[in-house]
Amino acid sequence: FQPLMPDLHYYYIVELSFYWSLMFSQFIDIKRKDFGIMFTHHIVTVTLITFSYVTNLTRVGTLTLCLHDAADVVLEAAKMANYCKCQKLSDLLFLTFAIVFIVSRLGIYPLWILNTTLFELYEALGNFPALWVFNVLLVILQILHCFWSYLIIKAAYKAISKGKVAKDDRSDIESSSDEEETVPRSKTPHSTITTNGTGGANGTNGYLTGGTCSEEH
């Protein structure tokens, strides 16, 4: 019995298209060990977005999407910092992401969202078939949250103990940024000292200038 506002309508359309794109791009992305789990997550998410829109349960759907977006924004920022070779900033953002993820998906989501859909919604609207499908999908989402929280806590522990975030435990293949760091040192001129991808006075972002370039070629 909640009116669908235009901004909520467009928010649903954008989120639905985003998760559809994730579902298809997963097949051409770096192969992960949790490919099946991630694919299940995308299927559940697309179904939940569509189901909540059709049944007009847009308020709980919007809150669920906002909780997911809050952690994803910090995660993408951590990735960009890692690509820019800003290791300390990347570590800080990753630890921030871990805190936001755990608080939002192991705290707010089950205590607020699931509590409402499992108990309060039943008391308000009574029993109807769509409610059971809706709750089963939301519980599956929570199980996936617990699995990913384990991986995040494991990576955060390594970051604190070793002072650096380790590579993604889900990866079977190293990313391009990791491959660049494993280039044999013998191919790099001994006169160049690089820090965070920067060659100091001799160059910027790992690229050398002047006579050193011709010598390397």
Q: Residue 190 pLDDT more than 90? A: no
Give the tokens for residue 158: 């390594």
Tens of pLDDT along 195-209?
A: 444 444 444 444 344
Distance between CA 217 and CA 213 in Å, rounded?
Answer: 6
Tens of pLDDT along 7-60?
A: 999 999 999 999 999 888 888 877 777 788 888 888 999 999 998 898 888 888
Tens of pLDDT along 108-167?
A: 999 999 998 888 887 777 777 778 888 999 999 999 999 999 988 988 888 778 765 555
Spans of all domains in the chain: 6-167
Distance between CA 56 and CA 87 in Å, rounded?
Answer: 44
What pLDDT does 111 receive? 93
What pLDDT does 201 receive? 44
Q: At what angle do helices 35-54 and 58-83 cross, to 10 degrees?
A: 140
Residue identified by tokens 């985003």 is 18
What pLDDT does 166 receive? 56
